[in-house]
């Protein structure tokens, strides 16, 4: 029988080729132009799960993109691990900022990935990380050492809010019954400093529209006499933070959980260099809420950010105009206990209340989700920790992430189980950005670590 290390050594070229083939399909869920590609990706996942040894694989139709479900039940008395991942990816634009086309994967070495990294949209988020689980399953089934039952649920709408999955999960509580949920869709601190994600932020995403006059106006004839929606929108947005970078929406912080100084001290022990952080982003200074460190600002504190703003003339040259309308897309990252629907309502009423009478304001909520925290004394966390110790040789650090996977809170509510977030990407892997990549070392390390999670989870479950 091969150990996982030997198995990887023998099969790694095939593992890489298979992932590259998956990355060639542009499964962009946000853009209907790619719907056939999203569907084709779902088919590929089905095939991969069958080949990896699932006994039953199903394409579950939903009002949106299908959910791929697969399982291998070896003994109903043994514990069950439910693996979740997503096969959809973010849009690839701006395309001209990619060094190679986003759906023609290339392998290149980087400073942090001396063994090479696969560059493609979805390489890290989440095709590469999801596929590690498929290959880990292949190892366990082909070597006959799968120690427990396994279920896979891979969706195609994570990047657009998981609406169909939120519809599917409550209807399939029995089918999805499990003892722990395992997800690789986050990151870790560094290749020699593994970490396990213990928290995710929630999200409220809104779009605002400010309307001034009923048509675009000559800025000389009307300028100064009527409200310019772009000026007004800018002022309104600026007023959403005070001089200490606190968010000014009344009630916004009411439910924010304040961590004890002890917990904050514990968090501060995670290795972090402000200098390299600034260098990597080419900024002279960081910026954020008064009284909190960089790592606190992007994990345990809520935020409000404009994600896009538009209106008026943005073409070549100059056009003297006062636009009739101005728009912005705004996201708020939330922390556990803040309810995203409540925050959306607070935002809406505040934003409407600060608008002067000279404009009309429309706030349209997009999607959202609750934050998540998971304890480190669960057997799931302990099993993950032991798995990393086995393959990295060090104890992983628990760390809260700033990103969101809104469906995780719903899993806990509906399926009553904890999620373990074993991410193998790095923050510098440029997810959602041009030149997204995933280290080959990280990909193979993930495949190597996952079977140990199964092993230790089954042992600790007894
Ligand atoms: N995998 C990410 C979330 C993530 C990345 C969490 C890294 C922690 C570390 C996921 O695909 C994602 O992009 N989520 C969105 C939210 C979603 C509703 C569009 C996000 O965080 O912006
Ligand atoms: Mn993801
Ligand atoms: Mn994503």
Q: Give yes or no for residue 401 CB within 6 A of ligand 1.
A: yes
Condensed to tens digits (0 to 9), the pLDDT of residues 11-56 reads 999 999 999 999 999 999 999 999 999 999 999 999 999 999 999 9
Residue 1 has pLDDT above 80, yes or no: no
Q: Biggest alpha carbon distance in the chain?
A: 83
Condensed to tens digits (0 to 9), the pLDDT of residues 156-190 reads 999 999 999 999 999 999 999 999 999 999 999 99
In sequence order, which residues have a C-beta less than 8 Å from that of residue 233 and are 6 or more positions away?
208, 210, 309, 311, 326, 327, 328
Q: Degrees (nearest 5) of the Cα angle 25, 28, 32?
A: 115
330 forms beta bridges with 206, 306
Condensed to tens digits (0 to 9), the pLDDT of residues 213-222 reads 999 999 999 9
Q: Which atom of ligand 1 is nearest to the CA of 331?
A: 22
Nearest CA to ligand 1 atom 4: 403
Condensed to tens digits (0 to 9), the pLDDT of residues 382-413 reads 999 999 999 999 999 999 999 999 999 999 99
Q: Which atom of ligand 1 is nearest to the CA of 427?
A: 7
Q: Which atom of ligand 1 is nearest to the CA of 421?
A: 8
Condensed to tens digits (0 to 9), the pLDDT of residues 229-278 reads 999 999 999 999 999 999 999 999 999 988 899 989 988 999 999 999 99
Domain limits, the chain:
4-200+371-461, 202-256+302-369
Q: Are 103 and 92 in contact (CB under 8 A)?
A: yes
Instruction: Say how far apart CA 279 and CA 449 lie, in whole Å.
Output: 31
Task: Pick one of 3.30.470.20, 3.30.70.1350, 3.30.70.360, 3.30.360.10 as the CATH number of 202-256+302-369.
Answer: 3.30.70.360
DSSP 6-20: HHHHHHHHHHHHHHH
Q: Give yes or no for residue 184 CB within 6 A of ligand 1.
A: no
CA of 126, nearest ligand number: 2
How many C-beta neighbours within 10 Å does residue 97 have? Answer: 10
Q: Which atom of ligand 1 is nearest to the CA of 201?
A: 21
Omega of the bond leading into 126 within 30 degrees of 0 (cis): yes
Q: Which atom of ligand 1 is nearest to the CA of 86?
A: 11
pLDDT at 462: 83
**Confidence class for position 2, pLDDT limits 50, 70, 90:** confident
Residue 139 has pLDDT above 80, yes or no: yes
Q: Tell me, in angstroms, the distance from the centre of ligand 1 to residue 325's CA.
A: 31
| DSSP-assigned letter for residue 34 | G
| DSSP-assigned letter for residue 249 | S
Tokens in use for 308?
A: 């896009």
Nearest CA to ligand 1 atom 20: 404
Q: DSSP strand E in 262-355: where?
A: 303-311, 321-322, 325-334
Q: DSSP strand E in 350-393: where?
A: 360-369, 372-373
Task: Give 231-237's long-range contacts (Cβ < 8 A, gap of 24+).
Answer: 232/326, 232/355, 232/356, 232/358, 232/359, 233/208, 233/309, 233/311, 233/326, 233/327, 233/328, 236/210, 236/351, 236/354, 236/355, 237/306, 237/309, 237/328, 237/330
Q: Which atom of ligand 1 is nearest to the CA of 368?
A: 18
Mean per-residue pLDDT for 65-93? 97
Condensed to tens digits (0 to 9), the pLDDT of residues 55-69 reads 999 999 999 999 999
Q: Tell me, in angstroms, the distance from the centre of ligand 1 to residue 358's CA.
A: 38
Q: Are 27 and 34 in contact (CB under 8 A)?
A: yes
| Ligand 1 pocket, mutate which of 91, 405, 423 (most atoms under 8 A from CB) | 405
| Ligand 1 pocket, mutate which of 88, 130, 159 (most atoms under 8 A from CB) | 159
Q: Tell me, in angstroms, the distance from the centre of ligand 2 to residue 25's CA.
A: 16
In sequence order, which residues have a C-beta less than 8 Å from that of residue 268 and are 6 or more positions away?
293, 295
Q: Which atom of ligand 1 is nearest to the CA of 401?
A: 8
Q: Give yes or no for residue 158 CB within 6 A of ligand 1.
A: yes
In sequence order, which residues have a C-beta less than 8 Å from that of residue 130 and are 6 or more positions away?
85, 86, 87, 154, 184, 185
At 237, is the secondary structure helix, strand, or coil? helix
Tokens in use for 343?
A: 């925050």
Total count of residues recorded for the chain: 462
Residue 305 has pLDDT above 70, yes or no: yes
Residue 6 has pLDDT above 70, yes or no: yes
CATH architecture for residues 4-200+371-461? 3-Layer(aba) Sandwich (3.40)
Secondary structure element (H or E) that encloses residue 159, with its range: none
Q: Degrees (nearest 5) of the Cα angle 335, 337, 340?
A: 70
At 257, is the secondary structure helix, strand, or coil? coil
Q: Pairing state of beta strands 80-86 and 180-183? A: parallel
How many C-beta neighbours within 10 Å does residue 310 have? Answer: 13
Mean per-residue pLDDT for 185-197? 97
In sequence order, which residues have a C-beta less than 8 Å from that of residue 317 and are 6 or more positions away?
none
Q: Tell me, in angstroms, the distance from the centre of ligand 2 to residue 248's CA.
A: 30
Q: Are 408 and 183 in contact (CB under 8 A)?
A: yes
Burial class (CB in 10 A: 0-12, 13-18, 19+), 287: exposed
Instruction: Say how far apart CA 140 and CA 204 lie, in whole Å.
Output: 40
Entry pTM: 0.94
In sequence order, which residues have a C-beta less than 8 Å from that of residue 319 and are 6 or more positions away?
313
Q: Do domains 4-200+371-461 and 202-256+302-369 have the same CATH topology?
A: no
Q: Tell me, in angstroms, the distance from the centre of ligand 3 to residue 122's CA.
A: 8
Instruction: Say how far apart CA 28 and CA 11 lie, in whole Å.
Output: 29
Nearest CA to ligand 1 atom 18: 161
Instruction: Say how far apart CA 73 and CA 44 lie, in whole Å.
Output: 22
Condensed to tens digits (0 to 9), the pLDDT of residues 431-460 reads 999 999 999 999 999 999 999 999 999 999
CA of 419, nearest ligand number: 1
């Amino acid at each position: 029988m091969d150990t996982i290390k030997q198995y990887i050594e023998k099969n790694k070229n095939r593992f890489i080729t298979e992932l590259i083939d998956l990355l060639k399909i542009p499964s962009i869920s946000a853009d209907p132009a790619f719907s056939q590609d999203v569907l084709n990706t779902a088919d590929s996942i089905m095939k991969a799960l069958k080949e990896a040894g699932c006994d039953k694989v199903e394409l579950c139709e939903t009002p949106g993109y299908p959910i791929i479900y697969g399982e291998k039940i070896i003994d109903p008395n043994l514990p069950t691990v439910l693996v979740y991942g997503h096969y959809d990816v973010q849009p690839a634009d701006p395309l001209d900022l990619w060094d190679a086309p986003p759906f023609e994967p290339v392998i290149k070495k980087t400073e942090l990935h001396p063994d090479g990294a696969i560059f493609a949209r979805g390489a890290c988020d989440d095709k590469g990380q999801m596929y590690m689980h498929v290959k880990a399953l292949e190892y366990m089934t082909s070597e006959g050492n799968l120690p427990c039952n396994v279920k896979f649920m891979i969706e195609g709408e994570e990047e657009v809010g998981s609406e169909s999955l939120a519809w599917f999960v409550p209807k399939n509580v029995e089918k999805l019954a499990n003892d722990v949920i395992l997800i690789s869709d986050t990151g870790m601190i560094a290749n020699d400093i593994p970490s396990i994600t213990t928290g995710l932020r929630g999200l409220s995403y809104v779009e605002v529209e400010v309307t001034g006059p009923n048509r675009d106006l000559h800025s000389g004839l009307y300028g100064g006499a009527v409200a310019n929606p772009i000026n007004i929108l800018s002022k309104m947005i600026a007023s959403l933070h005070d001089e200490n970078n606190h968010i000014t929406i009344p009630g916004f912080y009411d439910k924010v959980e304040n961590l004890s100084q002890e917990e904050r001290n514990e968090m501060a022990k995670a290795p972090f260099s402000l200098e390299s952080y600034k260098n990597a982003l080419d900024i002279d200074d960081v910026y954020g809420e008064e009284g909190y460190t960089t790592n606190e600002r992007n994990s345990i504190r809520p935020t409000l950010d404009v994600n896009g703003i538009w209106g008026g003339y943005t073409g070549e040259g100059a056009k003297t105009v006062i636009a009739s309308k101005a728009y912005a897309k705004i996201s708020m990252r939330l922390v556990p206990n803040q309810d995203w629907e409540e925050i959306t309502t607070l935002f809406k009423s505040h934003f409407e209340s600060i608008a002067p009478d000279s404009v009309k304001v429309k706030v349209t909520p997009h999607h959202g989700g609750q934050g998540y925290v998971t304890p480190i004394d669960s057997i799931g966390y302990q099993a993950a920790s032991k798995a990393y110790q086995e393959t990295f040789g060090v104890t992983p650090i628990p760390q809260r992430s700033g990103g969101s996977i809104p469906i995780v809170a719903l899993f806990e509510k509906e399926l009553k189980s904890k999620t373990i977030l074993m991410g193998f990407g790095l923050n510098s892997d440029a997810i959602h950005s041009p030149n997204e990549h995933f280290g080959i070392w990280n990909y193979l390390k993930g495949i190597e670590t996952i079977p140990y999670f199964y092993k230790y989870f089954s042992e600790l479950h007894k």
